[in-house]
């Protein structure tokens, strides 16, 4: 068993963990990312990024590397099946592109200092440091022990850091998501259009990534066969096709021709908006970001962008409050004299203040997004006409009140 002293430890090397490490790096603050997978996790096919997400990527200094990877989406065409309504929204004054997840993850990772990410390391247990109780001791699966001055949980929906913070458990929608890519070697010919179709308990859509590649998704009710079906790509595709066979052909055709290696099924979870109001999201110098903080349904395509915003705000708050002296080697020692202990306590207070600022700044934003996605999820998953009507009215009110979530600006790093 080896023991190491580290300053800032980020658990999870997904979108949020990498973005957080990048934000800190841009502000000259070192961190390490502990990732349990053996390499970068790029599954999940595509990810739609709208103006708010691009603003965050600009601040992280990687937007210019990502823009050439995806064509701009200029128009959304929305179709509601049961009342045949049809709506169009143009993106003339905003930015919307759908990226390959692999591009997003790989480019962020490439822009981090060498050896920032440690793969194949899983945090199993967290406990308080007996010397400075706001610091933590992390136990890894391979027996390594890491002492962390700051711990940021970007470890997704089943977050060990969230458990340490005693966050209320996340909840499951009665829906799941199926996603994939379809490649058209001679060009798809769909132009720069995002098509979305909503049925009674289902929603599906297709977005172009470039002239040849299309990302598609289906949100549909869970079934008892999902665990088995998720292991068989062809079965997953065929069962998904069966559910949307009555939808206009423009989406089923895409799914029929999909790349079976890319198809994936996700169960959909959310943190209830009412649970979020009361959470402080901090204990000592420990906090969470991304899905670990605010997992939400994918119905407005904002979970990943919200995670990028978290990273920018967290980086800014740390840089503002800090954290000169964070680089000190003291936390590696087991016995601090009283003066060193006092200085460490003062540093902890500053870190706590930075985290509180971050949480305060993020809370309303993620509460709004979570409320919107919770209501849309309820509207999709319920079979009760009364709940459907009430959810529909609330969605209208919430969308009017909270207006356009993509115009949000997380500010400068
Ligand atoms: C079907 C679907 C479609 C979506 N579409 C969009 C979209 O179009 N636009 C958008 O913005 N968002 C979208 N989202 C949401 C978005 O994918 C998530 O919000 C985002 O990926 C969250 O990133 P994260 O880094 O917080 O978590 P994750 O991506 O879950 O990363 C967590 C990481 O932590 C690691 N980890 C976990 N536990 C430990 C541990 N104990 N020790 C070490 N490592 C650990 C995991 O291996 C993982 O790499 C969608 C989500 C779904 C399900």
User: Over the stretch 306-323, which tens digit does the pLDDT of each residue have?
Assistant: 999 999 999 999 999 875
Nearest atom within ligand 1 for CA of residue 16? 25
The answer to whether residues 321 and 334 touch, using CB atoms and an 8 Å cutoff, is: no
CB of 17 shorter than 6 A to ligand 1? yes
pLDDT at res. 323: 56
272: left (phi over 0), alpha (psi -120 to 50) or beta: beta
Q: Considering only CA atoms, which residue is closest to atom 31 of ligand 1?
A: 14
pLDDT tens string 203-216: 999 999 999 999 99
Nearest atom within ligand 1 for CA of residue 268? 53
* Residue 292 alpha carbon to ligand 1 centre in Å: 9
Residue 185 burial (CB count, 10 A):
6
- Find all residues with CB under 8 Å of 45, minimum gap 6, and list them: 100, 101, 179, 180, 181, 215, 262, 264
For residue 389, name the pLDDT band (cuts at 50, 70, 90).
confident
The mean pLDDT value for 147-166 works out to 96
CA–CA dist 217, 41 (Å, integer):
19
Segments in 250-302 forming alpha helices (H):
252-256, 273-278, 291-294
The mean pLDDT value for 26-31 works out to 95
pLDDT at res. 87: 77
CB of 219 shorter than 6 A to ligand 1? no
pLDDT over threshold 60, residue 176: yes
* Residue 43 alpha carbon to ligand 1 centre in Å: 10
Q: What is the chain's mean pLDDT, rounded? A: 91
**Alpha carbon 206 to chain centroid distance?**
20
3-state secondary structure of 303: helix
For residue 10, name the pLDDT band (cuts at 50, 70, 90).
very high
CATH assignment of 3-170+271-407, among 3.40.50.300, 3.50.50.60, 3.40.640.10, 3.30.70.100: 3.50.50.60
pLDDT at res. 263: 97
CB of 208 shorter than 6 A to ligand 1? no
Ligand 1 pocket test target in 156, 167, 214 with most atoms within 8 Å of CB: 156
Instruction: Identify which has the larger pLDDT, 93 or 325.
Output: 93
* Residue 376 alpha carbon to ligand 1 centre in Å: 20
CB of 291 shorter than 6 A to ligand 1? yes
Nearest atom within ligand 1 for CA of residue 217? 1
The answer to whether residues 33 and 151 touch, using CB atoms and an 8 Å cutoff, is: no
Nearest atom within ligand 1 for CA of residue 291? 26
The mean pLDDT value for 156-160 works out to 97
What is the value of pTM for the model shown?
A: 0.94
pLDDT tens string 56-86: 999 999 999 999 999 999 999 988 887 767 7
* Residue 271 alpha carbon to ligand 1 centre in Å: 14
CB of 303 shorter than 6 A to ligand 1? yes
pLDDT at res. 327: 53
Sign of torsion over alpha carbons 287, 304, 277, 156 = negative
CB of 154 shorter than 6 A to ligand 1? yes
Instruction: Identify which has the larger pLDDT, 401 or 219.
Output: 219
Show the CA angle centred on residue 74, arms to residues 70 and 76, nearest 5°.
110
Closest CA to 46 of 188, 184, 217: 217
Instruction: Identify which has the larger pLDDT, 35 or 326.
Output: 35
Closest CA to 52 of 20, 102, 90, 96: 96
Instruction: Identify which has the larger pLDDT, 95 or 397.
Output: 95
For residue 386, name the pLDDT band (cuts at 50, 70, 90).
confident
CB of 290 shorter than 6 A to ligand 1? yes
Nearest atom within ligand 1 for CA of residue 15? 25
With a pLDDT cut of 70, the percent of the chain lying above it is 93
Q: Considering only CA atoms, which residue is closest to atom 19 of ligand 1?
A: 303
pLDDT at res. 402: 54
Nearest atom within ligand 1 for CA of residue 53? 11
Show the CA angle centred on residue 156, arms to residues 117 and 23, nearest 5°.
50
For residue 342, name the pLDDT band (cuts at 50, 70, 90).
confident
* Residue 324 alpha carbon to ligand 1 centre in Å: 31
CB of 14 shorter than 6 A to ligand 1? yes
The mean pLDDT value for 166-191 works out to 96
Q: Identify the residue whose tokens are 């009215």.
A: 393
CB of 294 shorter than 6 A to ligand 1? no
């Amino acid at each position: 068993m080896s023991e190491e002293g580290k300053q800032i430890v980020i658990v999870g090397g997904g979108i949020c963990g990498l973005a957080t490490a990048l934000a800190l790096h841009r502000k000259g603050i070192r961190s390490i990312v502990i990732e349990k997978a053996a390499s970068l996790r790029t599954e999940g096919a595509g990810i739609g990024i709208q103006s708010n997400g691009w603003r965050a990527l600009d601040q992280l200094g990687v937007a210019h590397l990502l823009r050439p990877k995806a064509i701009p989406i200029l128009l959304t065409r929305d179709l509601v099946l049961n009342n045949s309504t049809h709506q169009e929204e143009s993106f003339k004054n905003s930015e919307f592109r759908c990226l390959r997840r692999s591009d997003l993850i790989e480019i962020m990772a490439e822009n981090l200092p060498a050896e920032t990410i440690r793969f194949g390391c899983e945090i199993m247990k967290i406990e308080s440091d007996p010397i400075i109780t706001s610091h933590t001791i992390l136990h890894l699966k391979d027996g390594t022990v890491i002492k962390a001055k700051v711990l940021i949980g970007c470890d997704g929906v089943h977050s060990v850091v969230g458990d340490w913070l005693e966050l209320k458990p996340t909840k499951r929608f009665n829906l799941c998501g199926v996603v994939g890519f379809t490649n058209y070697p001679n060009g798809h010919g769909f132009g720069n259009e995002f098509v979305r179709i909503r049925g009674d308990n289902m929603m599906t859509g297709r977005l172009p990534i470039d002239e040849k590649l299309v990302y598609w998704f289906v949100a549909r009710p869970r079934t008892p066969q999902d665990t088995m079906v998720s292991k068989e790509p062809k079965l997953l595709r065929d069962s998904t096709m069966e559910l949307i066979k009555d939808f206009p052909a423009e989406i089923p055709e895409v799914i029929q021709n999909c790349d079976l290696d890319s198809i994936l099924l996700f169960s959909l979870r959310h943190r209830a908006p009412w649970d979020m109001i009361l959470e402080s999201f901090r204990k000592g110098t420990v906090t969470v970001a991304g899905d670990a903080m605010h997992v939400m349904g994918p119905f407005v395509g904002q979970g990943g962008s919200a995670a990028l915003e978290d990273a920018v705000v967290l980086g800014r708050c740390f840089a503002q409050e800090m954290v000169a002296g964070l680089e000190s080697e003291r936390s590696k020692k087991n016995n601090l004299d009283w003066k060193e202990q006092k200085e460490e306590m003062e540093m902890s207070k500053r870190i706590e203040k930075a985290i509180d600022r971050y949480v305060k700044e993020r809370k309303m934003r993620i509460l709004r997004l979570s409320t919107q996605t919770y209501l849309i999820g309820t509207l999709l998953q319920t079979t009760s006409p009364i709940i459907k009507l009430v959810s529909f009215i609330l969605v209208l009110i919430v969308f009017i009140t909270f207006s356009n979530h993509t115009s949000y600006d997380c500010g400068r790093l």
